[in-house]
Amino acid sequence: MTALPRLFCLLHRVRPGRAASCAVLATLLLNPLAAPLSSTAAWALHMPKVPELGAAALTPFMQSNKQIWTTVLPLPDGRMLLEAPAWVGNTGPQLYARAPDGTLTPWPDTAWNATDGDPATRIVSAGGLIRAASGSVWVLDSGVPDHTKPPVAAPKLLEIDPARNTVLRSIPIEAAALRPGSILSGVAVHDTTAYVADSGVGAVLVVDLAARMSRRFLDHHPALVATRPIVTPSGELHDAMGRLAALDASMIAVSPDGSWIVVQPPSGYLSRIATSLFFDPDVTPAAFEEGVTQWFKTPTLGGMTIDSNGTLYWSDVTTGSILSYTTGRIPRRLITDPRLTWPTTPGLDGHGHLFVSASQIDHTTAFGGPASVKWPVTVYDLTLPTTPPPQ
């Protein structure tokens, strides 16, 4: 068995007696797409090795001795939303609003952050947090507070009005769009459509928010499953059983005009897909598969966000960096700093600052091991460069 099929089988925990058949499947899945993806990726520039900014551009913004934050979302009114999901071991509220004076309160309120009660009226396991162009904040609830155990509730999407701190809609994800082992993680919204990544069984779910209908696409597509190990500065990450830790597609973003999405597993490569494919009734399965374009050979990522111009910002787990990537495929290494230990989903304030949590996820219980987090967990403020990207 060659290296790539072997890793595919190992990451997907195939029993030893089925290794041969897995190798055949992996080869069929991976090899046909290798040539077109490689030729497309060759058009992109390599990520610079030298960062543009020095350590002074990265300053501590806030800290916690009990919460591990994985998403930071600045709001136009000066508040900041923070996600502290259950799946990394947090036991308190999973969503917070930070006021400009530093005060933290459960968001949208205490009831939605209850740890027990009717799953339909509380956040069971926060799995994504974004602000749509309409101003609404969308929260993905995976219903899986412990990724090593079965779900305890059906997944749902919540639309929240940040001005009134009120849940406007709760949209369940239809069971037909899920698979045994599905763990939804990552959401992007454009107009009346939500795009959701499945990190348990690689796929993209497309949710019609008006019709409350869910559809599943690209099930087990090689671009959406874990085919590489998660690499930290200490090396490859393993779970409590000593196996390579694996997560399928968990990061997703949609372009400002809604014409394309990008998606990837933490340890996969970034892929770009035209959204028109999801709505074309005449597209063939083969054309759909070929419509997934490898967009950049990223390192292990801890999070991704997109600005109003379509520029992507990535949190690089492997080197402790913040990277960016324009629509013109210009990569930038903004900063590399040892303080960025497993940086997660960053947030942009629209005024030249990026906020990111050094979450230390590899030291949490997320992968089944004991917690060894070095408190406090810090959210950093990165002052972005004012110069345009090099051409």
Q: What is the pLDDT of residues 87-115, one digit of tens each?
A: 999 998 999 999 999 999 999 999 999 99
Q: pLDDT at residue 280 above 90?
A: yes
Instruction: Look at the block and give the residue holding tokens 């939605």.
Output: 112
pLDDT (mean) for 37-66: 83
Cα 248 → chain centroid: 10
pLDDT at 223: 96
pLDDT at 43: 57
The number of C-alpha atoms within 13 Å of 269 and in the hemisphere containing its C-beta is: 17
| Helix axes of 19-41 and 3-11: crossing angle, nearest 10 degrees | 110
pLDDT band at residue 133 under the 50/70/90 scheme: very high
Cβ-contact 238, 244 below 8 angstroms: yes
pLDDT band at residue 390 under the 50/70/90 scheme: low
Instruction: List Cβ neighbours of 184 (8 Å cut-off, separation of 6 or more).
Output: 127, 128, 140, 142, 155, 173, 196, 197, 198, 199, 200, 205
pLDDT band at residue 176 under the 50/70/90 scheme: very high
Instruction: List Cβ neighbours of 327 (8 Å cut-off, separation of 6 or more).
Output: 255, 309, 310, 311
Rounded CA separation 200/249 (Å): 8
The token duo for 205 is: 């779910």
Q: How many CB atoms lie within 10 A of CB 163?
A: 11
pLDDT at 387: 83
Instruction: List Cβ neighbours of 58 (8 Å cut-off, separation of 6 or more).
Output: 335, 337, 339, 340, 380, 381, 382
Pick the more confident residue, 41 or 259: 259
